[in-house]
Amino acid sequence: TPRNITKITHGGVDLKFEREGNVYWVTFDKEVPVGIEDKVSIWYEGHPHEAKNPPWDGGVQWAHDDLGHWFINTSCEGIGASIWWPNKDIGSDEPDHGMNINITVPDDLVDVSNGRLASVDHDAKDKTKTYHWKVVNPINNYGVNANIGNYVNWSEKYHGVGGILDVNYWVLAHQKTEAMRQFKEVPRMLKAFEYWFGKYPFYEDGYKLIAVEYLGMEHQSSVTYGNWFMNGYRGRDLSGTGVGLKWDFIIVHESGHEWFGNNISMRDAADMWIHEGFTAYSETLFTDYWFGNKAGDDYLIGTRKNIRNAAPIIGIYGANRQPNDTDQYYKSASMLHTIRQVINDDAKFRSILQGLNRDFYHQTVTTQQIESYISQKAGIDFSKVFDQYLRGTKIPLLKYSIKGNGVTFWYENVVPGFDIPLEVAVNGKLASIKPKATPTTLTFNDPVTTFLVDRNYYVESALQK
């Protein structure tokens, strides 16, 4: 439910408005030209929606910290930002020139929001402080946040691809010692992601990591963190391999969204995989960068146990509803890993990831744009790969039979035209094959005793008996 609006003015004139469900319709007193910058003032009130299970079932979370201070956080990706401030709550339309965010709190508390802190006004009579935060880049409505508590702050300068990045950390006063230890992960994250994706997209607004009560969220330039200052996903490894305990999941994953989700944003909620798939794969790329290629592969392949294949990853267009399935994370990441294997050139693959963040810089995009871009830059038509993994629920199956020195193989459970090449080990020796839906036979010098498909492809295999 949106906030209760009591008054709207334009140019000093009261405007008529009416509510229809979750929408307010506003009638202007005169025609407003297209393409101009203008100002509308909105008065609103009421107790904002309380989060039931943030950040998934979001809203405002009212809590107290261990010392008894108020601890208040917002998270609203799924439910929409209009539950706590009036806005055009449509993902395809972002404020082009950022936001001015002004939050008034009791003077013994601090508000931390997006962008840079411009000023703080103290009202001694009311015993309040108003924090004025300024964002200069385009921003998702759900990426705007308020975090109110007994916060303390420290900062550092990160020398990155785009110059000097201001990095700020905000935690509750009693958390500072353990946070200073755990947050050393941030420069490592920035180094890995600027290597793979290009420069951090919001140098003008800086980067903040903010302690919150809930797990965490990718609020733009204001990443929130509730991972209990430990590695893994609150101490668990989502891959089951042990690799995921080498780094802090929330710092890595939620910060990865600065590139995929905040810099490049979906135009329609049905394309949520653009946010979550690339960011889930950023976990593998971070691991690859710091712990080696095998560790990255181990982590990615370990997460496949979480894939359900219950419904297509892409949801219903025009419904403003995100797919309610974790396959947008794990299956999309395995698809990207498969595409990486087919390209078989990490320099080119990295240039594609960097190109996406450069050529769609601060833009909203569609799945079709992403598909076409990757195919064009790779020089390989991946349209059937996207159809297979994003629009269907079947895992490609490579069937094969062995007879003497020969192996016959073919694809099943695939969309028409799906024919990606595979790397295989035949009698322990590497070979490349090009399966199709119809059988192909290859003959080798020696009798074939073993035939194994490279585990990095998200393809199952089975011997035809």
So what's the pLDDT on residue 90?
Answer: 87
Cβ atoms of 66 and 108 within 8 Å: the answer is no
At 74, is the secondary structure helix, strand, or coil? strand
Total Cβ atoms within 10 A of residue 34: 5
Euclidean distance between CA atoms 99 and 141, whole angstroms: 10
pLDDT per residue as tens digits for the range 419-434 = 999 999 999 999 999 9
- What is the length of the chain? 465
Euclidean distance between CA atoms 61 and 211, whole angstroms: 13
3-class SS letters over 351-372: HHHHHHHHHCCCEEECHHHHHH
Euclidean distance between CA atoms 412 and 441, whole angstroms: 16
E strand spans, 142-284: 147-149, 151-160, 163-172, 207-211, 216-217, 223-225, 264-266
Euclidean distance between CA atoms 388 and 206, whole angstroms: 39
E strand spans, 76-162: 99-106, 110-112, 116-123, 128-135, 147-149, 151-160
Cβ atoms of 264 and 360 within 8 Å: the answer is yes
Total Cβ atoms within 10 A of residue 89: 19
Structure tokens that stand for 405 in this block: 């020195």
Euclidean distance between CA atoms 138 and 226, whole angstroms: 26
Residues linked to residue 2 through DSSP beta bridges, in sequence order: none
Radius of gyration of the chain (CA): 25
CATH class of residue range 397-463? mainly beta
Domain 185-201+228-390 has CATH 1.10.390.10: yes
Q: In tens digits, what is the pLDDT along the chain, a chain of 465 residues?
A: 688 999 999 999 999 999 999 899 999 999 999 989 999 999 999 999 999 999 999 999 999 999 999 999 999 998 999 999 999 998 888 999 999 999 999 999 999 999 999 999 999 999 999 999 999 999 999 999 999 999 999 999 999 999 999 999 999 999 999 999 999 999 999 999 999 999 999 999 999 999 999 999 999 999 999 999 999 999 999 999 999 999 999 999 999 999 999 999 999 999 999 999 999 999 999 999 999 999 999 999 999 999 999 999 999 998 877 787 899 999 999 999 999 999 999 999 999 999 999 999 999 999 999 999 999 999 999 999 999 999 999 999 999 999 999 999 999 999 999 999 999 999 999 999 999 999 999 999 999 999 999 999 999 999 998
How far apart, in Å, do the first and last CA atoms of the chain sit?
A: 59
**CATH 1.10.390.10 in the chain, residue ranges:** 185-201+228-390
- Between strands 163-172 and 207-211, the pairing is parallel
Structure tokens that stand for 383 in this block: 């349209």
**CATH 2.60.40 in the chain, residue ranges:** 397-463
